[in-house]
Structure 1
Amino acid sequence: MAKYRQVHVEFWQDGFVLDLTPEEKYFYLYLMTNSKTSQCGIYELPKRIMETETGYNRETVDKLIHRFEEYGKISYHEPTREIMILNWTKFNWINSPKVTSLIKKELESVKYQGFVQLFITKCKEYGYGIDTVGIDLGEEREIEREVEEEREVEVKNIPFSEIIEYLNSSAGKKYKASTNKTKTCIKARWNEGFRLDDFKKVVDTKTKEWKNDSKMSQYLRPETLFGNKFEGYLNQESQKETGDAYDHMF
């Protein structure tokens, strides 16, 4: 059976949508209509899939996710790679036993129970009736709590300050380790298995190459150095000359 997602014609006249950039409109529409979407508005969507289907690179995907989280439109749970469209229930509720049954089935497969709890809260807030007796929240919630605790410990062990201090010292910059964008880039690379020495090597390599280049020195910044080109920079041979610096940017 074919699967469809409806987008109301007034979507394009919505005040929020009107203020979005073309890139944001495309991404927002993608989140509501991609093949992974569900009736409850919670679904698993790995960033790798987003990159493939939208054509955006990882840095752009991360940027857009963060932006829509700030807008209060979505929430993305990194450990389970699940996304929740926060106002989906409000505008897509269908009061039908068949649909309600489908939603309950979908909720039972959601890994991050925080999303399930939020969904139920929103249903009550909007006056939607849904029987939650059959939805197991106990054991899975405990498992999720353990995952979250492990995740918090892992994040605490990431040397954000040491990495940024090394960059600032080497490149003569004044970046802050507390900036969300900076922490997101570093955390993404750390989760891929790269460690402190790798970050320092990338900083050393690109600082030597770009620092005295008036055009390239501006790219001695966290989002460029620690973005999706990180592994390439890490394996790059140090150059004595900067004449071909642009070749390593794209």
Structure 2
Amino acid sequence: MKVLVNDKQLLVSHSLAVRIGVEEALFLQLLHYRLEKNGVEKEGHIWYRQTYEGWAKQCSYWNITKVKRLITKLERYQLILSSNKLNSFVTDRSKWYRIDYEKIEKLLQKKVYTQEELFPEEPNLQEKKKTKEDMDYSNDIATIIHYFNEKTNKHFNPDSKTSNRLIKAILKEGYTVEDCHLVIDEQVRNWMHDPQMYKYLRPMTLFRSGNFESYLNNALARMQDNDYVPAPVVLDFDEGDYE
């Protein structure tokens, strides 16, 4: 128990954590600390300059990939505003960050529903919870496949057992629907107009675990820097991934 008392403590807002997630709230707390301690005033706001590698060194409990995902998610929520236009040199790969405190205040005013409000007591509650969990995955998978078909002009079946198994495994690892959309956008950008690679624009290729992580890293890297080499497609003939 000594370590729990004497070791460095990580501070996180409970109210913010229940709305956006513990890790996201923890990163915002760290950025808030850096803005107060090392912030620089530019264009009427206080900014903090850092690279992904620098963030990962400060947060040794997260790797660079995790840091990128957290920052990208908070940027999508527009709780963090970032820019590389404040750098003095074009070759500078760092970004400047600030927090939209007004948006956080509005977010904190929204009601958070309890488990009892979301899932009131009913007969056979355990069975219904299991059904609800399966339905959540089904809805997410259908959303992802619909988005995929829309972007690729293809017609894959959202009820496909192979697609469901692969995407469900991705979601269980903690990836989000938004992450899947990023991967789809990235590979559409890379392969849509490539006659050799267009045939691999399909769920069994994009959402296989090893491929997905590489493609997501490519998408995140493109947000930071357009100069990168896309990961090659990895085929699995046992899954029928051939033509």
TM-score (norm 1): 0.37
TM-score (norm 2): 0.38
